[in-house]
Structure 1
Amino acid sequence: MTDGAAGADRRLRRARLVTLVSLASGLWTSLLLPGVGLAREPDALRLATGAAVVVAFAAAQTAVLYAAVTPWLAQRWRRRFQLGLAAVAALSVPLVGPVAAGAWPTWAWLGASLVGMTPLLFRPGVAVVAAVGCVATSLAVAAATGGPLGTHLAVTGGVGVGIAAVNGVQVWFWDLLVAARQGQEARARLAAAEERLRFARDVHDLLGQDLTVIALKAELAARLAPVDAVRAGREAAEVQRLAGSALHRVREAVHGYRAVDLTEQLAALAEVLGSCGVRCTVVPAAQELPAGVATELAAVLREAGTNVLRHSRAGWCRIEITREDGVATMTIRNDGAGGDGGPDDHSHGLRGLTERLAAVGGTVRTRRDGDVFTLTATAPVVS
């Protein structure tokens, strides 16, 4: 996963948690307010069965809310949660409807919760029909139990529509966030695919003509071998030379493909950190670094960027590269690394970088001062 993807996923998780908590705050209509009716019910059996159904209703509602903000949840679990809510809602009519009959609109509050859930369960047209059905059921309960029709209509219809509007807007915003994240991932995959196609075209252009000539030369050498061994030998030598030349050109192309532009990586990391709310300052080297040194430092930069995003709550980050006395030094400092919020010398990433730079005569050192984490990498610059 790239640094930018890690930061985006972290923000998406936070948004999901906020959306779920906000949606769950509406559970008061299915727990607290029906609880008022339960408190007013004198019959012990009716109180016990009504309380059990109210608790089951709240649990089923919570499961549906969880499914609404969990796009990776399997479809079969969504159906099970929805069927569970439907079953408990149907059961609640005969068991909760008579609770505190005439004294408190107990089932009307469950009906308001059901109306509020309709945007999460159905398309707009079907949601309207389902909401009307819930209101009609509430009025039927009022008529059967002697409750006031106006109160049941106001609670199930008025409060329910308000909850539905709030829930619908929250889920709409959540869906926009998920769609935006999926769009970012799709663009990243498309960019990678385009780069692979570009490289494939480059290799095809490099090898196409060479392989055609090699094939023709090899065929000619095979035909000449029985009649003119000397000329066949010359053609075979030419085939060998062409093959070596083609191999050299392919290696150069692969090396260029793998080459790292440290300046571009610095700019990309600064942009990623900025998008995640981290103020990033970059001080590049006064002199351009050789390609080999840039490649080694770019590996350190990628690991450090990952650490800043995953292992800290950084508010700022400073990246400075210097070149002095034949040594290139990159220093990366960031705050928000207090407690267990930052990597240490024993992390796999840093250990791997230490071994990698040691192979070329470089070093990787880390230091923590309070909540400020510093990573310093050096690599020798060979003139």
Structure 2
Amino acid sequence: MTVGATDTDRRLRRARRVALASLVASVGSALLLPGIGLTREPDPLRLALGATGLVAFAVAQAAVLHAAVTPWLGQRRRHRLHAAFAVVAVATVPLAGPVAAGAWPTWAWLGASLVGMTPLLLRPRPALAVAAAVVAVAVAVAGWTGGSAAAAVVIAGGVGAGAAAVNGVQVWFWDLLVAARQGQQAHARLAAAEERLRFARDVHDLLGHDLTVIALKAELAARLASVDAGRAGREAAEVQRLAGTALHRVREAVHGYRAVDLGEQLAAVTEVLRSCGVRCDVDAAAGELPAEAAAELAAVLREAATNVLRHSRANWCRIGIVREDDAVTMTVSNDGVGDAREPDGHSHGLRGLAERVAAAGGGLRVRCESGVFTLAVTVPVPR
């Protein structure tokens, strides 16, 4: 990673923290007004239920806000957070709706917070439909508790629309920053791909001529062996010299060319396994990794794929990569180890990799359970 990229990522992290703080201040402040209803509720049971609903809503809301400014979060986890927030929002109707009935529009203020959250969760048209449904629920709760329907519309609809506009702009700016950074990374990957193509062409041009000459010289030496041994020997020596020269040229060409693209490694391993009849599923939500971490994972991935092909009768293989804080973990599982309870002999081929990963500050583990062999490697990733 270059210094420029590091500075850009650092600025993006600062922008993410600012966006998250702004969203929390904007949307979270709406919870203060429902809290006023708790101070006006004389019934202890309603007070306890209402407080439970508000706390659950605040926790679910915080999780959704965090997900909104965390682009590397997996889609499956993001959907689970959104679903949990929807369940909590529905549960607040019976929990917080009766709080301070007739004295304070408690749930209407929660409805305003919900409307304000819609730009973070949905596209414009579904967001409008959900906002209208929330306003309708606020009116229904007002009728149920003896409150003012007009006040419910103004609070849930008007205040919520203002919060939605502010939050929508903030999320839009954040999305622009993320898109700009992704564009820079895509440009860098494209430049690297073009460089690899240039390198491949250079190697082809470099070796094409030398190998052609070597082949012709070897054929000539073979023909001369029975009629002119001396000349055949000279031609064989020339073949040896040309081979050494070609090897030297290749080494010069590849000197310093050691970049590892983990995404390409995953694609290659997946294609090879599938072509051999092994169903391969990949769940890689780690995002772009530093070259050192990618190199360690790529080395383990190649060895694991080799073990699947050579030492097992696997029907399926699963590869998962998860990044958490300052470490990334890759797991490779397959069902081709039979009924053994312990890792079989093929796991010993990973000892060298385990030592290499340990030297980099990581760890490598293997286990065998119910006929499924799993390899897990964890390597550190600087924040």
Q: What's the CA shift for 1:249? A: 4.4
Cα pair 1:29 1:112 within 8 Å, conserved: no
The one-letter code sitting in structure 1 at the alignment partner of 2:129 is V
Aligned residue number for residue 158 of structure 1: 158
Q: Which moved more, 1:233-242 or 1:199-208?
A: 233-242
Aligned residue number for residue 320 of structure 1: none
Q: What's the CA shift for 1:28? A: 4.2
TM-aligned CA distance change 1:37 to 1:199, over 3 Å: same
Aligned residue number for residue 33 of structure 1: 33
| Whole-angstrom CA distance in 2 between matches of 1:202 and 1:105 | 73
Aligned residue number for residue 172 of structure 2: 172
Secondary structure of the residue aligned to 1:31 is helix
TM-aligned CA distance change 1:39 to 1:251, over 3 Å: closer
Q: What's the CA shift for 1:239? A: 2.1
| Whole-angstrom CA distance in 2 between matches of 1:256 and 1:24 | 47
Aligned residue number for residue 94 of structure 1: 94
The one-letter code sitting in structure 1 at the alignment partner of 2:153 is L
TM-aligned CA distance change 1:43 to 1:252, over 3 Å: closer
Aligned residue number for residue 63 of structure 2: 63
Cα pair 1:27 1:58 within 8 Å, conserved: no
| Whole-angstrom CA distance in 1 between matches of 2:70 and 2:257 | 39
Residues 173-227 of structure 1, C-alpha deviation per residue, up to 9 Å, x if partnerless? 1111111111111211221221122122112212211210110110111121012
| Whole-angstrom CA distance in 2 between matches of 1:167 and 1:230 | 86
Residues 127-185 of structure 1, C-alpha deviation per residue, up to 9 Å, x if partnerless? 11100000000011111112111111000000001111111111111111111111111
| Whole-angstrom CA distance in 1 between matches of 2:19 and 2:91 | 29
Q: What's the CA shift for 1:27? A: 3.8
| Whole-angstrom CA distance in 2 between matches of 1:257 and 1:79 | 41
| Whole-angstrom CA distance in 2 between matches of 1:43 and 1:30 | 23
Q: What's the CA shift for 1:240? A: 3.2
Q: What's the CA shift for 1:50? A: 0.7
Cα pair 2:20 2:69 within 8 Å, conserved: yes
Aligned residue number for residue 149 of structure 2: 149
Q: What's the CA shift for 1:49? A: 1.0
For the pair 1:233 / 2:233, whether they are aligned, the reply is: yes
1:282-297 superposed matches below 5 A = none
Residues 58-114 of structure 1, C-alpha deviation per residue, up to 9 Å, x if partnerless? 111111101111112222322222222112211111221121122211100000011
Aligned residue number for residue 138 of structure 1: 138
Aligned residue number for residue 191 of structure 1: 191
Aligned residue number for residue 200 of structure 2: 200
Of structures 1 and 2, the one with the larger relative CO (CA 8 A, separation 6+) is 1
| Whole-angstrom CA distance in 2 between matches of 1:159 and 1:115 | 9
| Whole-angstrom CA distance in 2 between matches of 1:202 and 1:152 | 71
Cα pair 2:27 2:117 within 8 Å, conserved: no
Q: What's the CA shift for 1:42? A: 1.5
| Whole-angstrom CA distance in 2 between matches of 1:91 and 1:252 | 68
Cα pair 2:31 2:113 within 8 Å, conserved: no
Cα pair 2:52 2:95 within 8 Å, conserved: no
| Whole-angstrom CA distance in 1 between matches of 2:91 and 2:220 | 88
Aligned residue number for residue 79 of structure 1: 79
| Whole-angstrom CA distance in 2 between matches of 1:69 and 1:251 | 46
Cα pair 1:97 1:141 within 8 Å, conserved: yes
| Whole-angstrom CA distance in 2 between matches of 1:78 and 1:201 | 43
1:1-383 superposed matches below 5 A = 1-250=1-250, 253=253
The number of equivalent residue pairs is: 258
Cα pair 1:135 1:156 within 8 Å, conserved: yes
Larger Rg: 1
| Whole-angstrom CA distance in 2 between matches of 1:165 and 1:179 | 21
Q: What's the CA shift for 1:233? A: 2.1
Secondary structure of the residue aligned to 1:147 is coil
| Whole-angstrom CA distance in 2 between matches of 1:207 and 1:226 | 30
TM-aligned CA distance change 1:248 to 1:38, over 3 Å: closer
The one-letter code sitting in structure 2 at the alignment partner of 1:93 is V
Scaled by the length of structure 2, the TM-score of the pair is: 0.64
Cα pair 2:27 2:116 within 8 Å, conserved: no
Q: What's the CA shift for 1:256? A: 10
Secondary structure of the residue aligned to 2:180 is helix
Aligned residue number for residue 340 of structure 1: none
Q: What's the CA shift for 1:235? A: 2.0
Secondary structure of the residue aligned to 2:70 is coil
Secondary structure of the residue aligned to 1:193 is helix
**Sequence identity of aligned pairs in percent?**
74
For the aligned residue pairs, the C-alpha RMSD in angstroms reads 2.0
Which structure 1 segments of 5+ residues have no match? 259-383
Q: What's the CA shift for 1:31? A: 2.2
